[in-house]
Amino acid sequence: MQIIVVGTVAFDSIETPFGAVDKILGGSAVYITLSARFFCENVGLVAVVGGDFPDENVSLLSDRGIDVDGLQVVPDGETFFWAGKYHYDLNDRETLATHLNVLSDFDPVVPEKYVDGSIVCLGNLEPGIQRNVLSQTRAPRIAIMDTMNFWIDQTPESLVETLALVDCLIINDSEARQLADEPNLVKAAARIRNMGPKSLVIKKGEHGALLFSDQGIFSAPAYPLEDIHDPTGAGDSFMGGFVGYLAARGDASVDSFKSAVVYGSAVASFCVEKFGPQRLLEITSADIERRVDDFRALAHIPAPASAF
């Protein structure tokens, strides 16, 4: 299957306890496409950048086989900019700046070749734009979306409208609580699934991820990493690995979703090892496969001899 990804292509300024970088390549669609490309040959990008976006960054994506036909350039506009700061608890992120810039007037166009039979991956973005992309694609398709606190705060009604149209939502635990207005994650998940998505993945940072589906709850661990430098993009690379795995398998069964959670977690565990998308540019599919084996070993629970 092929994958069409809409999301942000950005300049990010990031500060963590381990260093800081200014205006590096980032954005949800960058992390998602780079991650999905490990699994799938046909990954198309739908996004917008300004005239300030260097050609080298576009080449970086196209050299890796990502189809950039759906990337619009607004010559006299500025690229989306985000600045964030992490504290010692890396799950705790502070957004210092979000400048929508060219994103404010973004009118996405899905290239004809992705209109049919694609996995439609709605990366973190204004929910109206996510819906616009969805309306340009035809069933059968699998629609998977992400969102974040920014959009839950700014555009709640529009977000609910988009949620009603998708098969699967991937969000983190604090966003799930905020979206459902419910502190208990199991109750929050039920509420969110009632809003539309039959499947829901809740990421819990260094505590793993949960998949809620018609078959109940599946829990995957997080990989206990020694070297975490920058969590930026972890959620998006999870999504890229997740949709990439589904495209490679070509089916949307609950078992495939469970494996996709493990592959997504494996890709995300690499992403955080260096600043920005750097680590995703270094690893190979063999590295991902080895880490998936480690995940399996980590989560293996031998059938216990009865204690009673």
Choice from 3, 4, 28, 33 touching ligand AMP (CB under 6 A) = 28
Cis, bond preceding 183 (omega within 30 deg of 0): no
Rounded CA gap, 78 and 99, in Å?
9
CA distances from residue 178 to 69, 119, 121, 164, 206 in whole angstroms, order as listed = 36, 27, 22, 17, 20
> Binders of ligand AMP among 44-83, rule CB under 6 A?
82
- Select the residue interacting with ligand AMP from 16, 33, 79, 124 (CB under 6 A): 124
User: Segment contacting ligand AMP (CB under 6 A): 37-45, 207-215, 229-237, 278-286?
Assistant: 229-237
Task: Show the site string, 132-151: x = touches ligand AMP by CB under 6 A, - = not.
Answer: ----------------x-x-
Which stretch in 177-185, 226-234, 254-262, 299-307 sits in contact with ligand AMP by CB under 6 A?
226-234
Supply 31's token pair. Answer: 């992390």
CB of 96 to ligand AMP, least distance (A): 11
**Between 26 and 196, CB nearer to ligand AMP:** 26
Return the number of the residue (57 or 198) whose C-beta is nearest ligand AMP.
Answer: 57
The span from the CA of 264 to the CA of 244, in Å, is 8
Query: Which of 125, 169, 243, 260 is close enough to bind ligand AMP by CB under 6 A?
Result: 125
DSSP state, 165? T
CB of 69 to ligand AMP, least distance (A): 21
List Cβ neighbours of 143 (8 Å cut-off, separation of 6 or more).
120, 122, 134, 137, 165, 166, 167, 168
Q: Does 86 bind ligand AMP (CB under 6 A)?
A: no
Strands lying side by side in the sheet with 216-220: 67-74, 43-50, 2-6, 118-122, 142-146, 168-172, 199-203, 209-213, 216-220
61 contacts 36 by C-beta, under 8 angstroms: no
Strands 19-26 and 199-203: unpaired
Stretch that binds ligand AMP, among 20-28, 43-51, 112-120, 283-291 (CB under 6 A): 20-28
Residue closer to ligand AMP, measured from CB, 70 or 235: 235
Restricted to residues 166-185, the positions that interact with ligand AMP (CB under 6 A) are none
Q: Which of residues 92-121 bind ligand AMP (CB under 6 A)?
A: 98
For ligand AMP, the binding residues (CB under 6 A) are 8, 10, 12, 26-28, 82, 98, 124-125, 148, 150, 232-236
